């Protein structure tokens, strides 16, 4: 079932990209360096519109992934601290049980 969903997702993505490429083949002027800084047409490129849209979408996806990773870092940090304190608490309980001689309960040892 998962393979079918994955196949349809890929098919839909490829169809969308082809459709976007066919409909937006006109060239647009992409200005990298403003004309104030250069007198020639050095920073000016003619690129198909669909290429600009695909590249912008890709960079937006990458920036979104990085932003989510940074945001989730706070959650990971708090979970690490909770795990550390939980391990410390378990160690304290084991030490207390060892000091009180409660590490083996007689009834539980009979059940084994």
How far apart are alpha carbons 4 and 10 in whole angstroms?
10
- Rounded to two decimals, the pTM is 0.57
Q: How far apart are CA 105 and CA 81, in angstroms?
A: 32
For residue 40, CA distances in Å to 32, 45, 46, 86 come to: 12, 12, 15, 66
Torsion of CA 27, 33, 35, 38, to 10 degrees: -120
Residue extents of the structural domains in the chain: 27-111
Predicted confidence pLDDT, tens digits, the chain (112 residues): 888 999 999 999 889 888 888 888 888 888 888 877 777 778 788 998 888 888 998 999 999 999 999 999 989 999 999 999 999 988 888 888 777 765 555 555 555 5
């Amino acid at each position: 079932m998962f393979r079918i969903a994955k196949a349809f997702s890929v098919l839909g993505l490829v169809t969308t990209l082809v459709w976007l490429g066919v409909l937006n083949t006109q060239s647009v002027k992409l200005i990298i360096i403003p004309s104030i800084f250069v007198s020639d047409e050095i920073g000016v490129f003619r690129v198909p519109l669909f290429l600009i849209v695909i590249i912008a979408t890709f960079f937006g996806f990458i920036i979104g992934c990085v932003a989510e990773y940074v945001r989730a870092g706070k959650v990971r940090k708090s979970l690490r601290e909770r795990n550390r304190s939980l391990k410390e608490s378990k160690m304290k309980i084991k030490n207390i049980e060892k000091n009180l001689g409660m590490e083996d309960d007689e009834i539980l040892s009979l059940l084994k």
